[in-house]
Structure 1
Amino acid sequence: MSTPNHLIVVCGHAIWAGGPSKGHDESEWLIESYKKGETPTFIEHIKAGVKELSEDERSVLMFSGGSTKKETPLSEGRSYANLAAANSNFGLLSSTSNEVESSAHPLSPIPFHPRILVEERALDSYQNILFSIIHFWRSQDCKVWPSRLTIVSHAFKRRRLAQEHCAAIMFPLERVVFVGINPPRLVLVDGELPSEVEAVRSWKEDPHGVGDELAGKRRQRNLWGLEQKLFLTEEERRKSGLQTVSLNNGAEEMLIGNGPRPWSIEPDT
């Protein structure tokens, strides 16, 4: 297989706990009350990510999202990958003889397709993207950054994800594709969701999410003490070439400087 250069990120919004309906019965999901009725949309997000993966042999699919429910250590990202595996990747993928499925994991009864990975530390949409980019690089032996990015989430989050977050981390916007799927009965006002307008405002004011409001939300979601640094080791940090600064007494980390970011370098043609 050619070296991957295309990262597909499916942003997690809930946790599928498993069950015989393979996600089609909402009782199998751990969701907030305001997300009731949305689980078919989450399945469509997962399916859309798998479809994107099937159309590009140089792509890697990353299901992203941390452990956000006190009932289980299972992460959003892993639960999405579990659902894809339980549904046989919706019949969209087939492994070739030289591809090896993922190794066994106590929270993943069915091995994943070799080009499906999970990012399990993100606690908001900004981290969905940045942590996934870094995990892609980590999965390629810390040698290759993605030169293309596809993001799958709700359509009403396009501006926040594909513009604000990508601009904040300096990922070239011309190399970003956004696949948006909204719940069918979503009520918009003048074409927008009022709560999302407020979210975009917050991220414009605090692009890396380090202020009290946005960082505070992450900390509230971090029920399982997930590692919130960008890199897992000092060696990783050095190899990345990225400038970062520690926050919250060393428990968190953010990008600094104006680049160039390694993922912003023009890819070879």
Structure 2
Amino acid sequence: MSSPPPNHLVIVCGHAIWSGGPANGWDEREWLIESYKRGETPTFIEHIRAGVRVLAGDERAVLVFSGGPTRNETQLSEARSYYNLAAANGFFGLLPFASSRILLEERALDSYYNILFSVAEFWRAHATWPERLTIVSHAFKRARLVDAHCAAIGFLPLDRVGFVGINPPGVGESRLRESTGVSGDGGGAHVSREKAEAMQGVQLVVGQWADDPHGVGEALAGKRRARNCWAVDQRLFFSEEERVRSGVGTRVLGDGSEALDDNGVRPWGTMGGDIEAR
């Protein structure tokens, strides 16, 4: 008896790159991270584990690790490093089947394209659009990922979107310091201030996405260009033939990236219509 076709896309959003090492990611020195993310790497590991667990619980799910190569030090993508870490830690042993339902989306440079590129990758691999999404990321990013990005790409109604939110340690404390002005003493105070500033930045970015839902303006597109140190292709589709076959309405921008047309067709909005990908 054949398995039912996939209809559930599980996206684990990348936040950093594990470069490998004997500690299998449990030593922060094995990671390439910004200074304000110090202490967060165990949370990234929990995101990876959580994504595999969601996949294990649904025979119709497909897991996508999403994230491009965002560091000058290596061409390794966030997505591939997450896959490597899952394998190194034996997380795929949680699965009752081979890991063939795991895909890598290795081009996204921000959270919007974590979602959009992953939806396209699902279609490219399985010749249909997902009917459901589950997004795994920081809990404090839910408003951006679900309410802003999923609504912007037309993955509606939003009750088709599940969310697994796991915050890094210190997020609550940084919000408290921001509101009270208490920053602590010693070397930890510097990191705490960085985390508090990062959380202030989260609120700023939510506002930017509200004003620019597809991230085509200079503020958001400029951040992607700055992260694209390896000149990764930012088109949604790899050829005009594929673009036409997808049925998705898009436009190619002046910098070579691709965005959804504001009034274009969103075939995933039809509850997983079978537009052939092959």
**Fold equivalence (TM over 0.5):** yes
* Alignment partner of 1:85 is 2:87: yes
2:106 to 120, 131, 148: 120
- Structure 1 residues 51-60 or 86-95, which shifts more? 86-95
Query: Partner of 2:259 in structure 1?
Result: 254
Q: CA RMSD in A?
A: 1.6
State the partner residue of 2:183.
Answer: none
- What is the deviation of 1:233? 1.3
Partner of residue 138, structure 1: 124
Give the letter for the 2:112 counterpart. Answer: Y
1:90 to partner: Cα distance? 5.8
In the alignment, which residue of structure 1 is the partner of 2:153? 169
**AA matched with 1:206:** D
Matched position secondary structure for 2:43: helix
Report the CA distance between 1:4 and its aligned residue.
0.4
Distance 2:109 2:11 in 1: 14
Q: Which has the larger radius of gyration?
A: 2
Q: Is 1:228 aligned to 2:234, yes or no?
A: yes
C-alpha separation in 1, matches of 2:68 and 2:31: 15
Task: Give distance in 1, aligned partners of 2:254 and 2:248.
Answer: 19
Aligned length: 248
Give the 3 Å change call, closer, same or farther, for CA 60–259 of structure 1 in structure 2.
same
State the distance in 1 between where 2:143 and 2:28 align: 29
Distance (Å, rounded) in 2 between the aligned partners of 1:152 and 1:14: 14
Matched, 1:158 2:164: no
Aligned equivalent of 1:205: 211
Deviations along 1:65-122, one digit per CA (max 9) or x if unpaired, are 0001111110001100111111111631132xxx5xxxxxxxxxxxxx2111110000
Matched position secondary structure for 1:135: helix
TM superposition shift of 1:259 = 4.6
Partners of 1:70 and 1:79 in 2: CA distance:
15
Structure with greater proportional helix content: 2
Output the TM-score relative to the length of structure 1.
0.89
- In structure 2, the partner of 1:107 is none
The answer for the alignment partner of 2:270 in structure 1 is 265
Counterpart position of 2:243:
237
Partner Cα distance (2:68, 2:235) in 1: 13
Match of 1:110?
A: none
Q: Which of residues 9, 12, 36 is equivalent to 2:11?
A: 9
- CA shift, 1:16, in A, is 0.4
Aligned to 2:192: none
Secondary structure of 2:100's counterpart equals coil
Q: State the 1:245 CA deviation.
A: 1.0
Could you say which residue in structure 1 is the equivalent of 2:163?
Answer: 178
Residues 62-101 of structure 1: pairs in structure 2 closer than 5 A: 62-89=64-91, 91-95=93-97, 99=98
Amino acid at match of 2:138: H
Deviation readout 1:10-69 (Å, 9 max, x if unpaired):
000000011111111111111111111100000000011001001001000000000011
The alignment's TM-score, normalised by the length of structure 2, stands at: 0.86
Q: Runs of 5+ in structure 1 lacking a partner?
A: 100-112
